[in-house]
Amino acid sequence: MTSSFYVRGGKPLEGEITVRGAKNLVSKAMVAALLGETESFLTSVPDISDVRIVSELLRVHGVKIERDKEAGTLRMDPSNVERAHVADIDAHAGSSRIPILFCGPLLHRLGEAVIPDLGGCRIGTRPINYHLDVLRNFGAHVDKREHGIYITAPDGLRGAKIRLEYPSVGATEQVLLTAVRAQGITELENAAVEPEIEDLIAVLQKMGAIISLRTDRTIVIEGVEKLNGYRHRCLPDRIEAASWACAALVTHGDVFVRGAEQKAMGTFLNVLRKIGAGVDIHDDGIRFYDTGEGLSSAAIETDVHPGFMTDWQQPLVVLLTQANGISIVHETVYENRLGFTSALNDMGAQIQVYRECLGGSRCRFGQRNYNHSAVVNGPRPLKGAEITVPDLRGGFSYLIAALGADGTSQIHGIDLIDRGYESFRDKLTKLGADFWEE
């Protein structure tokens, strides 16, 4: 366990780093392997702690895993799936929300599943009501007990007509992972259609599933009796790529992010262009650089895909503290994802948060006492401070702020960043950052 991480800011990040598979696809593709009758093989798998957690959860359910961290390959053999002890699930699940997605595959394979107390970043209440409703729609019985939720499907699972109240990424994945082997047809209205979900659909189709996506964000799944394993290369991590882009720009640097893919990052790239950041798009990656002309402010609103994704919001807010003028940020996906701004203010930023919906539209958090809009007044020089990582993206955003600040920052809880940023220490070294651990 790292005691403390120190960053001496003010050095431009320069050079090249590589991003591999998306954290938010890899874990779901790993769960999908449970549905196959033969081995699955995943490539471009990043070495992040979420992959380690899901590997352990698969192992305790009898899946054999072979992993080459450096090559980024993962072989999963689900031919002997078995019940796991609740204590083992609990021990490995600790900091992840992934166990909830094991339900559909385990119900198909074993007729039962257990969801322990869930972790994940504290960026809102993050309830699981949509997931439980979805499972009930398929005919599962949900029994909430003291140490977890027990789910059974004694009569098997049947396709259903479902409409999500909000296009939740996780609930859409829950439907996909359950419907592919349910009896009959499932129609899901108001589905989330993030690129990671499309990639999961690609994985499932490789396994033998029949899934179509309509233009109105309805997904139709025709259940099949049997699925095989798959071979798949994960789509690149667009959140990691955007985070390094902001780090490059906040430090007035110049970084080529190899592996960053334009298609899934269009909305983010538009915002960077509009505020005057240097963006050169290539087939094998994207270069982000300071043009020397200064940045202008922006008004952004986070949304489901193809909107501006919520996970880009935190690193972008740090960048906006360095832009000229007043920026407005309206967070509409999570009710509590702006708490991290108070530490930025301690570092010299000028960010005010509001309960009102500022910007274009009214969202479901308006008038409900959630500080979910921010006004950022820039540019403000940042100074080093002692900070504690609040959550994964907020933590990386503090790291960005520390890299751009005058003086030294001390960051506590840096290990949380390992959940989603592969070898970030090596990448910082490669880009010339000045940091050390004690």
- Which residues here bind ligand EPU, judged by CB under 6 A? 23-24, 97, 121, 124, 126-131, 166, 168-171, 192, 239, 309-311, 333-334, 392-393, 420
Q: Is there a contact between 325 and 378 (Cβ–Cβ < 8 Å)?
A: yes
**Residue 21 Cβ vs ligand EPU, minimum distance, rounded to whole Å:** 13
Is 75 labelled as part of a ligand binding site?
no
Token reading at 254:
């110049």
**Residue 209 Cβ vs ligand EPU, minimum distance, rounded to whole Å:** 20
Give the list of residues 6+ apart from residue 426 with CB closer than 8 angstroms, or none.
none
The residue whose two tokens read 């233009």 is 215
Token reading at 51:
């992959």
The Cα diameter of the chain in Å comes to: 65
Beta bridge partners of 280: 287
Active site residues per annotation: 121
d(CA 397, CA 382): 13
Is 24 labelled as part of a ligand binding site?
yes
Token reading at 18:
């590589």
Q: Is the dihedral of CA 125, 388, 4, 311 positive or negative?
A: positive
Is 97 labelled as part of a ligand binding site?
yes
**Residue 172 Cβ vs ligand EPU, minimum distance, rounded to whole Å:** 8
- Type of residue found at 218: T
d(CA 192, CA 178): 16
Identify the DSSP state of 410.
E
Q: Which is nearer to ligand EPU, 289 or 308 (CB)?
A: 308
Is 81 labelled as part of a ligand binding site?
no
Q: Is there a contact between 108 and 138 (Cβ–Cβ < 8 Å)?
A: no
Identify the DSSP state of 225.
S
Is 418 labelled as part of a ligand binding site?
no
d(CA 344, CA 225): 53
d(CA 382, CA 404): 7
Q: Where is the binding site, in residues? A: 23-24, 97, 311, 333
Q: Where is the binding site for UDP-N-acetyl-alpha-D-glucosamine, in residues? A: 97, 311, 333
